[in-house]
Amino acid sequence: MRIVAISERTIPVSRYADPALPSGGLTTSLVTVTTDVWRGGHPVIGHGYASVGRFAQGGLIRERFAPRLLAVAGASLADEAGTTLDPFRAWAVMMNGEKPGGHGERCVAVGALDMAIWDAAAKIAGEPLAALLARRTGRPAPPDTVPVYAGGGYPYPAGDLDRLAGEIAHFANLGFTHAKIKIGADPECDARRIEVAARQLPGSAHLAVDAMNRFDLAGGLAAAAMLGPFGLWWFEDICDPHDFATQAAVAAAYPAPIAAGEALFSVAEARLLDRHGGLRRDRDILVFDPAHCYGLTGYCGIVETLTAAGWPREAFWPHGGHLFALHVVAGLGLGGAEVSPLAFAPFRGLADGARINGGRAPVPQAPGIGFELHGEAWRAFKADGA
C-alpha cells in the first residue's frame, strides 16, 4: 500500500468575508495525496490543508517531507492488518531524521500532509474519519454531533462596532449559542466590542475573547482587570506563547477561564504550558490546532500526555474552524470545536446543507473528512485536478 503522488498548492485565505478588506497576506497549503488503492475505478486520494493563521508550507512539503513518503517501501505504510494506510507509520516516515525542536514551521508542513493521509486512510476503510480515529485510539463510537462555537470577530477597519454586531447576530441566527471575538486594541475599545457582541448572544458568559498573544505582563494584567466583571466564557492567547511567567501571573489574577495552546505545536511545548503556564485543570481550555501540531498524529500525543497529567478531555477545544476539527472532537471525545462561519474561505462553515442546532454541529458522515460535501472547499481541491 503506497503513496504514489503528492501535490501542494498555495492559496490565499482571509480573516474577512469581504474580499475588499486586507488580511495580512495570509496563505495556506492545499495538499493531495494519491494512493495505489482503487475504489470505484479511481485511485483513493486524500485531501488536507495547513489550517489557518500561519502561512503556506510549500517548500518544506515539496522538498523535505513529501519525498520521504514517496520513497518509502509501500508495505511500511499499511496498518498491521494491511487494510488501509497507517497515519502513525506515515508520520514516523516524515519525521525520520528530524531533530527535536524547530516546531515553528515544519510542524505545519507535516500537519497538512498528515491531514491528507488520515483522509485517505478513512476513505480506504470506507468510514468517516471520526470513526476510524475512535477505533485506532480505543475510544467509544463517536457521536453524530459535537458542541461548537463561532470564531470570528476580527476588528473591521471602518464601522467596526456596527459590523461586529451584525456578524455576531448572524452567528446567533445560524444556531450558534457561543462565539469568540478578538481584543487587544485598547481597553475602552475592547470593552465596547465585548458589550456589542454580548448583546447578540444570551449573555457575556457565552462570549470568549482572543488577544492573539498581544499582551506583555502589564497589558495582560490590565486586560484581566477590565475583563473580570464581564464573566466571559474564556480569555484566550494572552501573551507570547512561550512567556509562561506572564501567562501564570495573569492566570493568578484572573479567576475566570483562560484558553491557551493555539500557538504551541508539540508535546514538549504542551508539557511546558501545563507545568509553568499557571493553568487550572478544573476550568481552563486548551486550544491546540490539530493541523499545526504535526497533524492529528502529533495532536493525539498532546491529548494523551495532558490527559495523563490530569486534564479532562472536555478541556480540549481545537482551533481551526473547519470540518477536520469536528471529526477530531468526535473521535477523541473532546469538549468541542471552533467553526469559522465567515472567515477563511474556502474552508469556512460546515458541509453544504448542514445546520447548527442548539450549539451543536453534525459531523460529516462521508468516508474521510468530507471535504467533498463542502462545495467551496471541494472546488479549491478540484482546481488541482484531484
What is residue 277's predicted lDDT score, i.e. its pLDDT?
98
**What pLDDT score does 185 carry?**
84
**Residue 374: active-site member:** no
Active-site residue, 180 included: no
- Catalytic annotation, pick one of 47, 178, 319, 322: 319
| pLDDT at 184 (0 to 100) | 92
Q: What is the pTM of this model?
A: 0.96
Q: CATH 3.20.20.120 occupies which residues in the chain? A: 145-381
- CATH of range 145-381; options 1.10.287.1770, 3.50.50.60, 3.40.50.1220, 3.20.20.120: 3.20.20.120
The pLDDT of residue 64 is 96
SS (H, E, C) the chain: CCEEEEEEEEEECCCCCCCCCCCCCCEEEEEEEEEEEEECCEEEEEEEECCCCCCCCHHHHHHHHHHHHHHCCHHHHECCCCCCECHHHHHHHHCCCCCCCCCCCHHHHHHHHHHHHHHHHHHHHCCEHHHHHHHHCCCCCCCCEEEEEEECCCCCCCCHHHHHHHHHHHHHHHCCCCEEEECCCCHHHHHHHHHHHHCCCCCHHHEEEECCCCECHHHHHHHHHHHHHHCCCEEECCECCCCHHHHHHHHHHCCCCEEECCCCCCHHHHHHHHHHCCCCCCCCEECCCCCCCCHHHHHHHHHHHHHHCCCCHHHECCCCCCHHHHHHHHHHCCCCEEECCCCCCCCCCCCCCCCCECCEEECCCCCECCHHHCHHHHHHHHCCCC
Q: Which of 103, 180, 182, 322 is catalytic?
A: 182
How many helices and strands (H and E) does the chain possess? 13, 11
- Position 378 scores a pLDDT of 97
Along the 386 residues of the chain, how does pLDDT read in single tens digits?
Answer: 899 999 999 999 999 999 889 888 999 999 999 999 999 999 999 999 999 988 999 999 999 999 999 999 777 899 988 899 999 999 999 999 999 988 888 999 999 999 999 999 999 999 999 999 999 999 999 999 999 999 999 999 999 999 999 999 999 999 999 999 999 989 999 999 999 999 999 999 999 999 999 999 999 999 999 999 999 999 999 999 999 999 999 999 999 999 999 999 999 999 999 999 999 999 999 999 999 999 999 999 999 999 999 999 999 999 999 999 999 999 999 999 999 999 999 999 999 999 999 999 999 999 999 999 999 999 999 986 65
Q: What SS3 state is found at 278? A: coil
The CATH number given to 3-126 is 3.30.390.10
The pLDDT value recorded for residue 76 is: 84
For CATH 3.30.390.10, list the domain ranges present in the chain.
3-126
